Structure 1
Amino acid sequence: MRVILGNSGGQEEVDVEVSAEAARFKMNSNSNSQRMDGDFDDEEAVKRMCVGATFSVMVIIFIFFRRIKCRRRSIRSAPSDEKLQRERSRAELMRRIFHGYSDSCQNFVRMRPGAFMKLASLMRKQQLLKDSRNITVEEQLAITLNILGHKSKNRMMRTQFIRSGDTISKYFNRVLQAISGIQGRFMKQAPNEVPQEILSNPSFYPFFKDCIGMIDGTHVDAMLPAAIVSCFRGRKGVTQNILAACTPNKQFTYVLAGWEGSANDYRILQDALSRPQPYGLRVYIGKYYLCDAGYTTQPGFISPYRGVRYHLKEFMGRTPQNRRELFNLRHSSLRSKIEATFGILKNRFKILTAKPHYPFPTQVDIVLACTVLHNYITTVDPEDELLNETIDIEEEDVAEEISEDTNVMDFTQSQTVREQNSSKDEWRSRRDEIALDMWTDYCRRYRHGDTHESAL
């Protein structure tokens, strides 16, 4: 600050200058004070945030270590008497299933002990199922197989195995998925070769030497939402229609489940043929399946003559009078294998004869799981009692991977009506040739060469 000595005017000039300097100093001081107050508030907010975050982290760490401590204490501590009693009860139940009376295992899980233990070992080996801390693979399979075999309710399984309903449901669905994991091993499409059952039977060979299996449909009760139940309602009630193919040794080679019960069998077959390989039904060039009158004779499929006696019961006490009756008789005799296979399947797994209280996708999985288990049992335990039981047929109007895809007929290509009719006529002519060869051989064997036909 400058000080000027002189007259009063000069002195006044000094005072004004000093006053201006004082005003500027005061304004700067106020401005700095406001800036310092703002910075101080920001620092306080940051400090409060840091303190809060630190406190939250400390609480989380405290809770984490507290839970670890409690878990370690529970592991170190001995199980309660109630838990030990439940474990002993489950162990006793499993012991009675496998070591009770002679057929207790067969009755409870619908297969003999050897087949059951092999299945449990297979599930472990392929890591499809594993033991948990509280439940073994054997118990998981026993629960599921009892539900499939006896249509047991969830609450009954809760009582028998002393498990919660959620646990029963959880492992039931898990085992269904595990069974689907072995489907490729125990259900393979029919091989391009003559089945041994045909090759060793003079009534079938060489006439059916190109037959690789039989196809048919069956119905299983279904439970569906009211909005779509009408689509599944047919002459047998609310069902899902299942298309299956099997070989003469009563093994399924193809299963297509989930179709509406009101759907026509021929329509379902067309869907199976239109699917790309390996998901579609495989038909080799020159080979065929036997089917009933619900289908039509076409490339890869031969149905019986219409308007001619067909069912085996119709021939009791009466011999065939012409080539068509003879063909239908032997056609029915061979095709009845798939009817017997359906009977064995439903006799073993009673859940297929009742309305299942599961979501529809699970109902479809149940059908597929039962067919895979059927094939598994026929493979590992062909002497199983249920396989050799006499089944009343309801008549109505593991090998190497197959790689003969080059000989598979392609049904995905569209054909004109004329081409379809021409191919059907060709296969009807082939059926006539088979029938004539059968009749000639039959007359030579049993009619002293008399080929006269009546009521043709």
Structure 2
Amino acid sequence: MNNNKRLPHTPPDTRHRIRELAYFRMIHESDLVCRQSTRMDRRTFAILCHLLRNVAGLSSTEIVDVEEMVAMFLHVLAHDVKNRVIQQEFVRSGETVSRHFNIVLLAVLRLYEELIKRPVPVTSNCNDQRWKCFENCLGALDGTYIKVNVPAGDRPTFRTRKGEIATNVLGVCDMKGDFVYVLAGWEGSAADSRILRDAISQENGLQVPKGYYYLCDAGYPNAEGFLAPYKGQRYHLQEWRGAANAPTNAKEYFNMKHSSARNVIERAFGVLKGRWTILRGKSYYPLQVQCRTILACTLLHNLINREMTYCNDVEDEDEGDSTYATTTASEDIQYIETTNEWSQWRDDLATSMFTDWQFRNA
């Protein structure tokens, strides 16, 4: 047998049957397989395709229909597979895979207004023990590092303290763990507070109406609209475990409750990166594409949380009142500045929380 003999080109009909089989196995075989391949059950996948068609204007091309290109796109996000893997799976050229990945990526971003979550403030009758102390709170925010691919000259500024080349991503979520705002693209060496200032200064940036606020960690200033814990006091959840480690003063109790509630953003980031492996590995995409991918993953995260009946990595929490989601006539906070009034308000809140806790446990 001549091993150097060139194999005949796969006939078009055969390629078409292979693609149909690959798509059927990935999407239609069962909800379990569909979740493993795309992180969505079959119903949610169909809803996404419907939104992409009817809201984002995505349409089939001459060679690839909407369902196939969406399946390829989600599989790349979920498993961080290389272009050649999709080529082999769907018998497509590398150019076809790459082009349709970017087509779907831009279409998902056009669903921003449909999928980004509007925050709902905590109300006085909230039943969630983690949040009921924080009336008018909209959620929590934090930064996370996601690896990026940048030119050699830009690497020093994108290098994190751990030596990774990454973007410092600001994520803001509501108390259910749905993202309400995401800002990607800042250098890994940038301070969290600097990124937050940029977010609220942008024309379509993070909006925080006066009278409302987000929980943040001690890396951010304790300023109007952004409630930080007390420095120099115990804070992290593991420090409060056991009866012997109960809080002994108002500042400690405030920090314990603050940590319990603010943990929602850490869980949201954990679920996000757990679902979309592309956010965990080394990036080979240009920075702009990677930043778009980060935002797309957060929008799809919200869709999954909203639509999937089986979703064991997301907890169901009290949504509170929807008043803020529909009417926000108050002025937004324009700058971040620590004031005596805000510090005093935190002190008063901490004292009230601690006194109430002591009374209930007397």
Asked whether the two chains share a fold, i.e. TM above 0.5, the reply is yes
Q: Deviations over 1:234-276 (max 9, x none)?
A: 2131100000110111100011110000000000001111122
Aligned to 2:48: 119
CA contact (8 A) 1:211 1:290 kept: yes
Which range moves more in the overlay, 100-109 or 296-305?
100-109
**What amino acid maps onto 2:343 in structure 1?**
R
CA contact (8 A) 2:56 2:111 kept: no
Aligned to 1:222: 148
CA contact (8 A) 2:80 2:281 kept: yes
Q: Deviations over 1:316-366 (max 9, x none)?
A: 112111111111111000000010000000000000001121111001101
The Cα shift of 1:123 comes to 1.4
CA distance in 2: counterparts of 1:255 and 1:130, whole angstroms: 27
Of residues 260, 265, 268, the one that matches 2:192 is 265
Instruction: Report SS of the residue matched to 1:430.
Output: helix
CA contact (8 A) 2:160 2:189 kept: yes
Structure 2 residue runs of 5 or longer lacking an equivalent are 1-8, 317-321
Q: Does 1:212 align with 2:135?
A: no
The Cα shift of 1:437 comes to 0.8
Q: Does 1:440 align with 2:355?
A: yes
Of residues 291, 294, 303, the one that matches 1:376 is 303
Aligned to 1:409: 332
Q: What is the TM-score normalised by the length of structure 1?
A: 0.72
Q: Does 1:98 align with 2:98?
A: no
**What amino acid maps onto 2:64 in structure 1?**
I
Which range moves more in the overlay, 93-102 or 314-323?
93-102
Instruction: Spell out the pairing of 1:22-33 with structure 2 (5 A cutoff).
Output: none
CA distance in 1: counterparts of 2:360 and 2:209, whole angstroms: 32
CA distance in 2: counterparts of 1:195 and 1:84, whole angstroms: 60
> RMSD in angstroms over aligned alpha carbons?
2.2
CA contact (8 A) 1:309 1:328 kept: yes
Aligned to 2:128: 201
Aligned to 2:207: 282
CA distance in 1: counterparts of 2:110 and 2:17, whole angstroms: 32
Q: What is the TM-score normalised by the length of structure 2?
A: 0.90
CA distance in 1: counterparts of 2:10 and 2:177, whole angstroms: 50
**What amino acid maps onto 1:407 in structure 2?**
S
Aligned to 2:5: none
CA distance in 2: counterparts of 1:262 and 1:195, whole angstroms: 37
CA contact (8 A) 1:195 1:212 kept: no
- Cα–Cα, structure 1 residues 343 and 126, in superposed 2: closer, same or farther, change >3 Å? same
Aligned to 1:68: none
CA distance in 2: counterparts of 1:127 and 1:275, whole angstroms: 24
Q: Deviations over 1:348-399 (max 9, x none)?
A: 000000112111100110100000100111112253234359xxxxxxxxx9
- Cα–Cα, structure 1 residues 319 and 409, in superposed 2: closer, same or farther, change >3 Å? same
CA distance in 2: counterparts of 1:162 and 1:81, whole angstroms: 9
Larger radius of gyration: 1
Aligned to 2:343: 428
Count residues in correspondence.
346
**What amino acid maps onto 1:194 in structure 2?**
V
CA distance in 2: counterparts of 1:135 and 1:429, whole angstroms: 60
Instruction: Report SS of the residue matched to 1:268.
Output: helix
Greater helix proportion: 1
CA contact (8 A) 1:194 1:211 kept: yes
Q: Deviations over 1:47-91 (max 9, x none)?
A: xxxxxxxxxxxxxxxxxxxxxxxxxxxxxxxxx981000000111
Q: Does 1:303 align with 2:218?
A: no
Which ranges of 4 or more aligned residues in structure 1 deviate by more than 6 Å? none
CA contact (8 A) 2:240 2:247 kept: yes
Instruction: Spell out the pairing of 1:105-254 with structure 2 (5 A cutoff).
Output: 105-126=34-55, 128-191=57-120, 193-194=121-122, 199-202=126-129, 204-205=131-132, 207-236=133-162, 237-254=164-181
CA contact (8 A) 1:129 1:137 kept: yes
CA distance in 2: counterparts of 1:284 and 1:120, whole angstroms: 34
The Cα shift of 1:194 comes to 2.5
CA distance in 1: counterparts of 2:27 and 2:137, whole angstroms: 41
Instruction: Report SS of the residue matched to 2:14.
Output: helix
CA contact (8 A) 1:112 1:384 kept: no
The Cα shift of 1:286 comes to 1.3
Aligned-pair identity in percent equals 38
The Cα shift of 1:284 comes to 1.2
Give the number of the structure with larger relative contact order, counting CA–CA contacts within 8 Å between residues 6 or more apart: 2
Q: Deviations over 1:286-324 (max 9, x none)?
A: 111100011111011110011100000011112111111
**What amino acid maps onto 2:197 in structure 1?**
Q
CA distance in 1: counterparts of 2:56 and 2:171, whole angstroms: 29
CA contact (8 A) 1:348 1:386 kept: no
